[in-house]
Amino acid sequence: MARIVLENVSKTYERHRGEPICALNAVNLTVEDKELMVLVGPSGSGKTTTLRLIAGLETPTAGTIAMNGAVINQLAPKDRDLAMVFQNQALYPHLTVYENMALGLRLRKVARTEISKRLKAAVEMLELTGLLDRYPRQLSGGQRQRVAVGRAVVRQPQAFLFDEPLSNLDGPMRMQLRCEITRLHDRLVATTIYVTHDQIEAMTMGHRIAVIKDGRIQQVADPLTLYQQPANLFVAGFIGLPPMNFVHGRLERTQGELYFREASQGPIQFRLLPEQSVQLADRAGKPIILGLRPEGIACMNDIQPSPSSRGMDARPEGEYASQGVHDNSFAPAMDAWLDRAELLGAETHYYLRIGLHSCVARVACGKRSSPGRTICVRLNLAKAHFFDPATTMAISRLAPATSTS
């Protein structure tokens, strides 16, 4: 197996009669031995370029790539002992499944008995029994992708590189092969780098995830840390479906207490929790961005509440119904206009307008609600994130609360 380390790796492409294009900018990344590392980011962020540099298909402009402590910048791809699975499968149409999977071993002059042994194990592992005599045109998309994976598996390389292998498949097939690749990694215990733009694949597959934007790594962490403690605005908005809600405002100190007040003088105003006030004491009088995930907005049962009835007596729906709405971690209730409700079975997404802001709330009970009306909402401040508008970096995030009985 392999430990792969990228140190200050940059890649610049020369443009004909134009400015050079910087695809990667001083990337530092360590993939531990036997780890499944996922590279995720929008199109053009540098994910595939990173993979191609590791594979030796591209040469870095600057920096070093090392495997097991040895720099491999100058090694040819065939000498790096890596197996790569591409998005388009790259199967030879005139060869059978067996011939496609065995070709690489034959070129390396592996003994015929060893080839048969490796292919038998890979075929059983990937459920390709009965397909060895077929040609790629006779296979479904999922079967062709299994063959491409099998061709990599029989190599028994030091590391596997996957370049968006599931992006051309439909939803159910993607989910099935996603599970199979994860199970394959668990069985082989092989160092794996997996590139995708799909955050669901990233969150469900990766031991750790590297979020990339504009050729720079924004954050490297395990999936839960990325979700609960994003390093900046981009990570907070990119990881999570529906994405995090953001509200621009400023912190103001009133009678010794620290308050968040919406920049547009809208209804989103509240006193910070004591722990937040301590963490953000030096931000008083400065602009700030509030971030709150959809599950951090509690939707209440009472519709079109009157001023006299609105507030601490309102009852929350879904996951908040049993948490105690009198909890001091909730901001005062406010009115929200329900634009749209998307029922997804076990949960419902409410698309709301609070003052001038559009936001999304997740109601865990999967309850259908008619749009075009006013509902009452409260913000769970224990789930709030705060970001610096100038640097976009996270300033404060309370540690996830542990449940109590």
Tokens 């599970």, residue located: 179
Same domain, 207 and 348: no
Number of domain units in the chain: 2
- Residue 139 counted as domain residue: yes
56-62 CB contacts, 8 Å cutoff, 24+ apart:
56/80, 56/82, 58/11, 60/9, 60/10, 60/11, 60/24, 61/10, 61/11, 61/12, 62/8, 62/9, 62/10, 62/26
pLDDT (0 to 100) of residue 260: 96
pTM of this structure? 0.86
Same domain, 137 and 163: yes
- Residue 283 counted as domain residue: yes
**Mean pLDDT, 10 residues at a time, the chain of 405 residues:** 94 83 95 96 93 95 95 93 86 92 90 91 86 91 88 90 84 82 87 93 94 96 95 95 94 92 89 92 94 92 39 44 58 92 88 92 76 91 94 77 41
Same domain, 85 and 228: yes
Q: Residue 59: give its domain's CATH number.
A: 3.40.50.300
Tokens 């790259």, residue located: 90
- Residue 405 counted as domain residue: no
Strand, coil or helix: 312: coil
pLDDT (0 to 100) of residue 310: 41
Same domain, 221 and 315: no
pLDDT (0 to 100) of residue 6: 97
Same domain, 292 and 269: yes
Same domain, 145 and 274: no
- Residue 260 counted as domain residue: yes
Question: What does the pLDDT look like over 110-124, one tens digit per residue?
Answer: 999 999 999 998 888
Same domain, 75 and 209: yes
Same domain, 250 and 144: no
As beta bridge partners, residue 11 has 24
- Residue 403 counted as domain residue: no
Of 111, 102, 169, nearest to 133 by C-alpha is 102
Pairwise CA distance, residues 90 & 247, whole Å: 46
pLDDT (0 to 100) of residue 243: 93
- Residue 359 counted as domain residue: yes
Q: Which domain holds residue 215?
A: 4-235
Of 167, 200, 235, the one marking the end of a domain is 235
As beta bridge partners, residue 7 has 64
- Residue 310 counted as domain residue: yes
Same domain, 253 and 228: no
Same domain, 135 and 261: no
Q: Residue 382: give its domain's CATH number.
A: 2.40.50.140
Q: Token pair for residue 262?
A: 């919406």
pLDDT (0 to 100) of residue 156: 87
Nearest 5°: the CA angle 231, 262, 316 is 85
What is the number of alpha carbons within 13 Å of residue 27 lying toward its C-beta? 37
Beta strand extents in 233-286 (DSSP E only): 245-254, 257-262, 269-271
Of 217, 235, 253, the one marking the end of a domain is 235
Same domain, 140 and 275: no
Of 194, 211, 235, the one marking the end of a domain is 235
As beta bridge partners, residue 300 has 316
**Other C-beta atoms within 10 Å of 112: how many?**
10
Pairwise CA distance, residues 1 & 189, whole Å: 8
Sign of CA pseudo-dihedral 213, 218, 224, 230 = negative
Same domain, 72 and 111: yes
- Residue 8 counted as domain residue: yes
DSSP secondary structure string for all residues of 13-24? E--TTS--EEEE
